[in-house]
Amino acid sequence: MSKRQGLPVDLTEEQIDEFGREMDAIYYETLESRGEKDRLYILRLIRIQRSMALFGRLTIYASLFLLPAWPHALAGWGTTLIVMALGVILLGLAKILENMEIAHNVLHAQWDWMKDPEIQSNTWEWDTMSPSDRWMHSHNVVHHTWTNVLEKDLDVGYGIMRVTPLQPWKPAYLLQPVYFVMLMLLFEEGVALHEQAIIDVGEGKKTQGNPAADETHRPQDLGPGAQGLHHVAGPGRAGVDPDLLLRAGIPAHRVPAGGRRQLRRQHHP
């Protein structure tokens, strides 16, 4: 008689093995299907995303010439707001494409097989407060190793929300509607701090009492709290904004060293 595994997996060992074989078949089938069509897709998508971001900004600037103060027939608050809203929509869509369809997959090493130096997981940096190496650790390593496992996957509730009956109830969860709105408005900041918490809880324990092991992430002249935030702020703290250069079609990792800090990679040497 087949032995059944305990919850949350209510399957026999044979069923688990069969599921594994089916997943492996899909994996190898996908690997064999990669080719020129996929390469053209990601290159085209990057061009579209950067063009949308660039034209979105130009559209917003153009709306300033429609303010009522200008002495021409099209000037007025109505046309100004319509044109500005169009620019905002373009920028928003560009942001979604970059973070969810481009950078998320690039940082998963989905496109490393192309050997394109401009689309590699160990060189790509994205337009968000969370540096790519931090995200790769918290998402690729922690989240995808312990997906939805309570107290292992810190993406379950992000430490501030109760999303499953398996989480013990606390009075603080009564404020969840407020947390939802705050996280919606400050999602970039929330993700960055969430990833810093993962580093503090995980790697922080490993490097405690060993400053040399933590040197690549935390400058020694900063306090413990500021050290992590210093690295989190890395992509947006340089004198030359990599976001603007990226939108103009210049890969962010080609910005001169004086304009941005090249982040060291721990997972992809």
Half-sphere exposure of residue 181: CA atoms within 13 angstroms, side-chain side: 3
- Tens-place pLDDT, residues 51-104: 999 999 999 999 999 999 999 999 999 999 999 999 999 999 999 999 999 999
- 147 three-state secondary structure: coil
Picking from 48, 89, 53, 84, the residue whose alpha carbon sits closest to that of residue 66 is 84
- Tens-place pLDDT, residues 30-50: 999 999 999 999 999 999 999
SS3 breakdown of the chain: % helix, strand, coil, rounded to 5?
60, 0, 40
d(CA 17, CA 21): 6
Bridge partners for 4 per DSSP: 12
Q: Which residue has the tokens 């997943």?
A: 23
Tokens of 173: 């969860």
Bridge partners for 12 per DSSP: 4
Q: Pick 128 or 54 by higher pLDDT.
A: 54
Q: Pick 257 or 51 by higher pLDDT.
A: 51
* Alpha carbon 252 to its chain's center: 15
DSSP state for residue 248 in the 8-state scheme: T
- Tens-place pLDDT, residues 92-105: 999 999 999 999 99
Helix axis angle for 77-96 and 36-63, nearest 10°, is 150
Cα angle for residues 139, 6, 144 (degrees, 5° grid)? 10
Full 3-state SS string of 167-206? CCCCHHHHHHHHHHHHHHHCHHHHHHHHHHHHHHHCHHHH
pLDDT of amino acid 49 = 97
Q: Please return the burial class of 204, using the count of CB atoms within 10 Å of its CB with bins 0-12, 13-18 and 19+.
A: middle
Lowest mean pLDDT among 137-146, 151-160, 257-266: 257-266
d(CA 202, CA 205): 6
- 12 three-state secondary structure: strand
Lowest mean pLDDT among 6-10, 150-154, 165-169, 249-253: 249-253
Q: Give the pTM.
A: 0.68
Instruction: Kindly give, in sequence order, each residue whose CB lies less than 8 Å from that of residue 10, ignoring residues fewer than 6 positions away.
Output: 4
Are 124 and 253 in contact by the 8 Å Cβ rule? The answer is yes
Q: Is the pLDDT of residue 216 over 90?
A: no
pLDDT of amino acid 35 = 94
- Where on the phi/psi map is residue 106: left (φ > 0), alpha (ψ -120 to 50), or beta? alpha
Q: Please return the burial class of 41, using the count of CB atoms within 10 Å of its CB with bins 0-12, 13-18 and 19+.
A: exposed
Q: At 2, phi and psi to the nearest 5?
A: -70, 135
